[in-house]
Amino acid sequence: MINHDEAAVRPLTLAWVSRHLEVGERILKTEALHGGITAEMRRLTIGTRDGGTRDLVLRSFVDPFYVRGAEDGLNGEAGALSLLTGTGVPAPGLVAVDPTAAHCEYPSLLMTHLTGRTVLDDEGLETRVPLLARQLVAIHALRPAERPRKYVTLTTADTVVVPKGADAEAWAAAIDVIRKPAPSYEGRFLHRDFQPGNVLFDVPPSTPTGARITGVVDWAGTCWGPADLDVAHCSTNLALLHGPAWGLRFAEAYEEAGGVLAAAASERLYWQVRDGLACSEEVQLVSQPWREAGRTELTTRAVEERLDAYVTALMDALG
């Protein structure tokens, strides 16, 4: 008998998963994984023929708003996971994908489960930031035989949401930055949502400084573009999770790890500001999973204040 949690995996999807198991295997348990924004995530415990167990992860797009883009996202993630096999980048292995819900109730992807957990606490951050930087350098070093799609940015100068009480002068100057054309760049393989919420760590309780990365997940946004864009995105997340200084620090850590960013400070600023301003439109969406993960002090208002401080710090650094 399958042990389901709330909003359990639906019957057609369970049948589809079962068809992709090895002979003699069966689904024993389903468990919700929290932290995702766009899709429902479930860990499936599989009973093996020898009496043991193994875990798989199921991603299903159930929200009508996100279902519209599910086919492209799941096809992109499936392609990325296939490409990453054998590269040394710790990513899940692809088991099966149903991007159009031809077999499942909703568009879904089935993949292997990675050990480790996301770590969003301030403690041990000075150890984790260099690890994040080195991992991102390794991702950007990949040279796939077939390039993924070109990156897209949806934020415009007119869609930015200036936080209440923000430094109006700094935000006006930042918005002017992204009115300009994007700088030229040397293309790289991008994760496009590389940030602490998508990186798994093994952190020994007795020695937090012995942390190591065990996996990088959520490859749905994989694309080709400037390394600065991935670095800027992680920087923004670090600034909101841990304070503006850590956002500014990440670009330095990336270079210390051997990564190459845009040569001109103004070009680096363009990408950093662009990502910070993009986050202004999603503060509530971004901060909710952090609170669910235990960072209850990161209210929407608190994150808005950190974003304001970060954008102001970026503009001050240019001046």
Question: Which pLDDT belongs to residue 139?
Answer: 98
- Is the model's pLDDT at 211 over the cut of 60? yes
Q: Of all residues in the chain, what percent are helix, strand and coil, respectively (each to 5)?
A: 40, 15, 40
Q: Which domains does the chain have, with CATH numbers?
A: 11-112 (3.30.200.20), 125-317 (3.90.1200)
Residue 48 in tokens: 């093996």
Backbone angles phi, psi at 299, to 5 degrees: -70, 165
Do residues 162 and 176 make contact, with C-beta atoms less than 8 angstroms apart? no
**Predicted TM-score (pTM) of this structure:** 0.93
**H-helix or E-strand containing 234?**
helix 227-242
- At 157-190, the pLDDT tens digits run 999 999 999 999 999 999 999 999 999 999 999 9
Question: Which pLDDT belongs to residue 6?
Answer: 42
Do residues 109 and 16 make contact, with C-beta atoms less than 8 angstroms apart? no
Counting beta carbons within 10 angstroms of the beta carbon of residue 38, is it exposed (0 to 12), middle (13 to 18) or buried (19 or more)? buried
Q: What residue type is assigned to position 214 of the chain? A: T
**Confidence band (pLDDT; 50, 70, 90) for 35?**
low
User: Please, how many CA atoms are within 13 Å of residue 64, restricted to the half-sphere of its CB?
Assistant: 0
Report the percentage of the chain scoring pLDDT > 70. 96
Backbone angles phi, psi at 228, to 5 degrees: -55, -35
- At 40-50, the pLDDT tens digits run 999 999 999 99
Give me the mean pLDDT over the 119-147 stretch. Answer: 96
- Is the model's pLDDT at 75 over the cut of 60? yes
Do residues 34 and 117 make contact, with C-beta atoms less than 8 angstroms apart? no
Residue 132, CA distances (Å) to 27, 59, 82 in order = 34, 24, 22
Do residues 276 and 163 make contact, with C-beta atoms less than 8 angstroms apart? no
CA distance 171 to 168: 5
Question: Which pLDDT belongs to residue 5?
Answer: 46
* Sign for the pseudo-dihedral over CA of 87, 93, 98, 100: negative
CA distance 270 to 63: 33
**Confidence band (pLDDT; 50, 70, 90) for 317?**
confident
Do residues 311 and 177 make contact, with C-beta atoms less than 8 angstroms apart? no
Q: What residue type is assigned to position 296 of the chain? A: T
Do residues 253 and 241 make contact, with C-beta atoms less than 8 angstroms apart? no
Buried b (16+ CB within 10 A) or exposed e, 83-115: bbeeeebbbbebbbbbbebeebbbbbbbbebbe
CA distance 158 to 299: 25
- At 276-301, the pLDDT tens digits run 999 999 999 999 999 999 999 999 99
Question: Which pLDDT belongs to residue 319?
Answer: 62
CA distance 308 to 92: 35
Tokens 């020898």 correspond to what residue?
A: 50
